[in-house]
Amino acid sequence: MRRSARSTMRFFVSIVELYPRRLHHELPSWVNPSGAIFHIRIRTAKENPRLLTDQSLAPKLLDSVLEYLRRQIWWPSLFLIMPDHVHALLSFSATRRMTRVVGDWKKWNHQNHGVFWQENFFDHRLRREESLEEKAAYIRKNPVAKGLCSRAEEWPWVLDSESIRKALGL
Ligand code: NI
């Protein structure tokens, strides 16, 4: 009895340790069970004709982020659009390669919405000791730091777990 309780606890701890805090209980089963979360930053190229935050473009970009989620390609913990780049905290399906997925997303938005991206993108895999909340808060301060809004919560071009759940009807 005592032994089985202990091994149950050990199992529980090992599961929880796999995932950064707060995320572990909300990741769907198709997300890579390694729990890897990447901070991705994609910049537009100089020849990009309009700002990513243009009223006629930003909602479409966010729609494409949600479409990738509906197709179980990635799970965004955060996706934020700035005028000339995007920041995202993303987990990926176990069957997808991160670089391939991001490349496909860039290409799709180039072909469908005329966005010109820089060729490469920045990616950083969050280490276990790094806090997802701190990283998210830092990214959400981007528009404030650039003087585009006075409080992070005012920025319209962002998807977080709350707005994602709402958009998916969860
Ligand atoms: Ni930035």
Distance 6 CA to ligand 1 centre (A): 45
* Number of domains forming the structure of the chain: 1
Distance 2 CA to ligand 1 centre (A): 51
Residue 49 neighbours by CB distance under 10 Å: 10
What does the alpha-carbon distance between residue 150 and residue 145 come to, in Å, rounded to a whole number? 9
For residue range 22-64, list pLDDT tens digits in order: 454 567 888 988 889 999 999 999 999 999 999 999 999 999 9
Burial environment of residue 12 by CB neighbours within 10 A (0 to 12, 13 to 18, 19 or more): exposed
Distance 55 CA to ligand 1 centre (A): 19
Check residue 51 and give its pLDDT: 98
Check residue 12 and give its pLDDT: 43
Distance 41 CA to ligand 1 centre (A): 7
Distance 161 CA to ligand 1 centre (A): 19
Distance 82 CA to ligand 1 centre (A): 7
Question: Whole domain around residue 118: which residue ranges?
Answer: 2-168
Distance 145 CA to ligand 1 centre (A): 9
For residue range 138-161, list pLDDT tens digits in order: 999 999 999 999 999 999 999 998
* Residue 119 falls in which region: left (phi positive, over 0), alpha (psi -120 to 50) or beta: alpha
CATH code at position 10: 3.30.70.1290
Structure tokens at 55: 């009223």
Residues, beta carbon < 5 Å, ion ligand 1: 142
Structure tokens at 138: 């830092």
Distance 162 CA to ligand 1 centre (A): 21
Q: Tell me if residue 89 falls in helix, strand or coil.
A: strand
Distance 87 CA to ligand 1 centre (A): 6
Residues 6+ apart with CB under 8 A from 102: 40, 42, 121, 123
Distance 62 CA to ligand 1 centre (A): 17
Is residue 157 within 8 Å of 53, Cβ to Cβ?
Answer: yes
